[in-house]
A and B are shown apart, each in its own frame.
Chain A
Amino acid sequence: MWKYIIRRLILIIPTVFLAGTLVFFMLRVLPGDIVSTLTSEGGATNESKEKLREELGLNDPIVVQYSKWLWGTLNGNLGYSHYQDRFVTQIVKDKIEATLTLAIFAMVFSLAIAFPMGIISAVKRGSWWDQGIRIFTALSLAVPSFWLGILLIIFASRVFNWSKPVIYTSFFADPGSNMAQLFLPIIATGITSAAILSRLVRSMMLEVLREDYVRTARAKGLREFIVILRHSLRNASIPVLTMAGYHFGAILSGVVVIENVFSIPGLGQQILVSIFARDYDMVVGIVVVLTVILAAWILIIDLLYSVVDPRIRYS
């Protein structure tokens, strides 16, 4: 087990560097650079811009720039944001909590919605319940999350005269205020995953409910909810967990837009600002951090398999 975990952890390193390298080079293809941004409103001569590019190392050969980034990252230094005049690690540290809070709660929300809907849909197959859930999931899949976010904002403010607190508060500082902040974003972010996962739960449950051991459990006189929750759901959950792992990646990418819609000071909001500013180190730094988070999440999901299904052993 430990060997497996260590091997997976080691595998995260090349994954992260591959992602970082890809983004590092792709960013250089975009027209413009941080000096263009910093001087975009005039007041700087071409000479002073070139001087600044020289000072910031932007005129170095790309291999040299890459080597510097690689060496810095290996030493835990993700670089410097010239747009914001701060170290990338410092900014990431400040912003990661908001992103993770939103992403984790969105994941929890989607699972909390997906399982009951999938189970009900499977158990009451063909009923109005099933049809209703099918329509709900189809709508959820069709509506882009940022649009849903805007609709939720309009709906809450028009119908209930309510909007979220305008200044973000950390979950650890004030969980209540934080949830008031994240309530709508969580729905907007998690609803698509909830829809997909609920369809998966439904189909897996339908498959499992036809198994002999379920029929046996019923024949033994077990109550229906025990048959469903203990005998059926547990076996149906493994593929759902796998999908949930990958959906966390989708949720993380979704927060880029959602954080902007809801003014949440997280990495998603930050990466958009940094991309437009051509703040290379900041963008690569955020991608590296998000890759680490995603890889770790997938590892955790893999390890959860053995909890759900004791027959699975890692070695």
Chain B
Amino acid sequence: MQVTALGKLTWVGIAAALLMIATLACSSAPDSAGTTPAAPAQQQPAATFPPTIVPPAIATPAPAEPATSAATASGEITRGGHLRVINDGFPPKWDFSQTSTWISLFHYGGRMYSGLLQFSPRDGIEIWPDMAESWEITNNSQTFTFKIDEDLTQWHDGTAFDVDHIIYAINRWRDPPEGIIQPRVGAFNLIDNMQKVDAHTLEINLTTPFGDFIAESANQWHAMIPQHILEANENTIPRWQDIIGTGPYKVIDAEDGISVDSEKNMNYFRESPDGDPYPYLDRVTSITIVEQQARIAALRSKKADATKPNNLNHNEYKSMPLGDGPDEATFDVGPFVDVASIQLNNQIPPFDNIDARRAVFYGVYKQGIIDSEGSENPYYPISWFSYIFPSSQEILDTVPGYKAEKREEEREMARQFAEKGGLTEFELIVVTARTAHAELIQADMAEIGVDVKITPQDWTAMIASVEGRRYQAATGGTAPSYAGVVPLADIMYSEKGGRNGGWDPPANYLEAWGNARTLPAGDERDALFSEMHRIMLEEWVPSVPYSAVNQNKFRWNYVHNWDIVAQEIFSNNKFEDVWLDCGAPIPGSGC
């Protein structure tokens, strides 16, 4: 079989080479991030698919207890072992809080640090305790009182922990020192004051009611970086040896650009449901391998145990020998909010005219782009809000561009909209990796008499063009759409909001949002969310074409509690309760 397969190597090589070039071309924020698909901003971790209306956070005085895994209940957990995980990017800085790429905290630094709270790695929605073992929301969602875990007594280097350290870390986000960028400020901007009530109690008062502050506190971007390390190093973390947190693992070695090795923190303060200390694993090593074929080779030769679950494509999965049996891994397809969008700059001609935008909306045959990717990697059209609202199927049924039998009708409408909107030509800036998609769009638009000039740019250049509004149409740059409704609005419309790429919502949407954000979770707020959903479907989405990509997921069945959830790359990277069974290349000590 292997010899026969050699005949296909040429084409595999070509595909891999092209993928590599695409990966490199996109890896401005390695990720690369990039390396990388577009890194999200202020990510709310996972959600289920199809998405359901779930309040971004449940403000509750009683903290949710960690879910008990089946293995925990039956007592089958194997402790110990060494998990080696491959990623396709490396954090640019050792100060993970300063970087805006998901790879930093979610795949390298997260397990070394703690946050005030954390999202459940099971579903990415439920909020679990972390530094704070309980919390209370009072004063009409304006005062938040966190009870800090009494077992949290020290940092990795033995320095005594104090509640003031949390205040210091949060203040660093709110008011970063000169030359320091803190890209994930989020709702910390709403903090009016913070007080250490006693040795284990922190009170945070906001300037305005904001029930979802609790979700911001669970966001893994907000890892607590220690004051003593920052003060000793001019407000940064210059070396890997300075990665000192309170998380379940401690860094023992690192190679810039390649790997971060960590071992179990014997003094970790959190316990498993059976009363034994977390974490289960003895050691976790994160390794960067950019080239996909090299990743597969490392897996095949057992030099690594897993990749992050979503970075093998279907063909690569099929090329895995899985020689140890079909049960070794599971392949799945699920939603992943990647960029397959066209941003239209509504502030300058021709797209300051909504009819011109509608011409693109109706004119582009999105199914053609899907088909060009291969039927085994389908794109599903979802709303611009992705998993926040249950719009996926509705969009699929109602949005043009997905049904061949409707193409003529839609093309005619596009032609009419183009004529009405005066759209005869436009420039489409495209990140190099998506040039093929741009060419399909170009061909679609040519059919309605619109000339599209394609300008390939790398990620950073495209971002600069969009931010400077020096573009008519562009791909990529949809990072805000990854975020939940709360950070989304904060990113885009708050005083310190970032780019919006020309996706301004209708005024009634903003009004509904303005009312919703002051309410705690409940029926009243859900009603406003429903109204926002309606506005989005009926008024906003038709002016902002967007579709999202499905992601292939590759789960190693011997890695337990590493859940594949919709946004798994943004969750469960503390590896608190991850364990390896006896089928793992380097299994736990009980095997």
- Residues of A in contact with B (beta carbons under 8 Å apart): 30-33, 35-45, 48, 52, 55-56, 83-86, 91, 94-95, 144, 146-147, 150-151, 153-159, 161-163, 165-168, 260-263, 265, 269-270, 272-273, 276-278
Contacts and interface: CB of A to CB of B under 8 A. Distances in A.
Contact of B294 (A56, A85, A261, A270): A261
A91 to B, nearest CB: 8
Nearest to A165: B303
Contacts of B457: 31
Nearest to A157: B297
Interface in B69-110: 84, 86, 92-95, 98, 100-101
B498 A43 contact: yes
Contacts of A273: 27, 30, 92, 257
Nearest to B1: A158
Interface string B177-207: 0110111111000000000000000000000
A146 B20 contact: yes
Nearest to B323: A161
Contact of A153 (B186, B261, B293): B293
A66 B42 CA distance: 36
Interface stretch (B2-10, B269-277, B327-335, B552-560): B2-10
6 contacts: A32-B461, A42-B479, A43-B100, A260-B290, A263-B291, A272-B27
B9 A277 contact: no
A38 to B, nearest CB: 5
B181 A38 contact: yes
A86 B233 CA distance: 12
Contact of A277 (B17, B24, B28, B84): B28
Interface stretch (B140-148, B401-409, B489-497, B519-527): B489-497
Given A37-B28, A55-B179, A278-B460, A168 B100 contact: no
Given A83-B92, A85-B238, A153-B291, A37 B29 contact: yes
Interface in B381-432: none
Interface stretch (B58-66, B463-471, B503-511): B463-471
B5 to A, nearest CB: 6
B57 interface: no
Given A85-B238, A163-B298, A262-B291, A40 B86 contact: no
Contacts of B186: 43
A111 to B, nearest CB: 27
B30 A43 contact: no
Contact of A45 (B27, B100, B497): B497
B288 interface: yes
B587 interface: no
A281 to B, nearest CB: 14
Contacts of A156: 297
Nearest to B16: A150
A261 B499 contact: no
B288 A41 contact: no
A166 B257 contact: no
A158 to B, nearest CB: 5
Nearest to B458: A276
A2 to B, nearest CB: 40
Contact of B183 (A38, A150, A161, A260): A38
B459 interface: yes
Contact of A41 (B2, B41, B255, B296): B41
A32 B287 contact: no
B106 to A, nearest CB: 13
A278 to B, nearest CB: 6
Contact of A167 (B287, B296, B463): B287
Contacts of A269: 257
Nearest to A37: B460
A284 to B, nearest CB: 17
B215 interface: no
A299 B572 CA distance: 55
Contact of B6 (A147, A155, A260): A155
Given A31-B457, A39-B498, A158-B5, 11 more contacts: A41-B41, A42-B183, A43-B42, A85-B93, A146-B17, A150-B17, A157-B300, A166-B287, A272-B27, A273-B92, A276-B27
B495 A43 contact: no
Contact of A166 (B39, B237, B298, B497): B298
A52 B98 CA distance: 13
Nearest to A162: B301
Interface of B: 2-3, 5-6, 9, 12-14, 16-17, 20, 24-25, 27-30, 39-42, 84, 86, 92-95, 98, 100-101, 178-179, 181-186, 236-238, 255-259, 261, 285, 287-291, 293-294, 296-298, 300-301, 303-304, 321, 457-461, 463-465, 467, 479-480, 491-492, 495-499
A277 B16 CA distance: 24
Contact of B28 (A40, A52, A146, A151): A40
A52 B181 CA distance: 8
Contact of B29 (A40, A146, A159, A163): A40
A241 to B, nearest CB: 33
Nearest to A144: B17
A44 B236 contact: no
B259 A166 contact: yes
Given A262-B291, A265-B257, A31 B461 contact: yes
A73 to B, nearest CB: 21
A183 to B, nearest CB: 13
Nearest to B468: A31
A141 B41 CA distance: 45
A89 to B, nearest CB: 14
A38 B298 contact: no
B306 to A, nearest CB: 12
Given A32-B461, A153-B294, A260-B24, A41 B238 contact: no
Contacts of B288: 263
B297 A277 contact: no
Contacts of B304: 166
A147 B13 contact: yes
Nearest to A35: B181
B297 A154 contact: yes
6 A-B pairs with the lowest CB-CB distances in the bound complex, closest first: A42-B498, A157-B297, A32-B464, A163-B297, A41-B100, A31-B461
Contacts of B16: 150, 154
Contacts of B17: 144, 146-147, 150
Contact of A43 (B3, B297, B491): B491
B86 A166 contact: yes
B24 A40 contact: no
A66 B293 CA distance: 41
Nearest to A81: B92
Contacts of A262: 291, 294
A45 B236 CA distance: 22
B258 A263 contact: yes
B179 A163 contact: no
B461 A150 contact: no
B291 A260 contact: yes
A80 to B, nearest CB: 10
A163 B298 CA distance: 6
A238 B287 CA distance: 45
Nearest to B258: A265
Given A146-B17, A260-B291, A263-B289, A40 B179 contact: no
Nearest to A156: B297
Nearest to A266: B257
Contact of A163 (B40, B303, B492): B303
A193 B480 CA distance: 47
A269 B30 CA distance: 12
B41 A42 contact: yes
A146 B293 CA distance: 12
A44 B28 contact: no
B24 A85 contact: no
A163 B289 CA distance: 12
B364 to A, nearest CB: 25
Nearest to B239: A86
Contacts of B98: 85
Most chain A CB within 10 A, of B5, B101, B178, B463, is at: B463
Most chain A CB within 10 A, of B25, B289, B291, B457, is at: B291
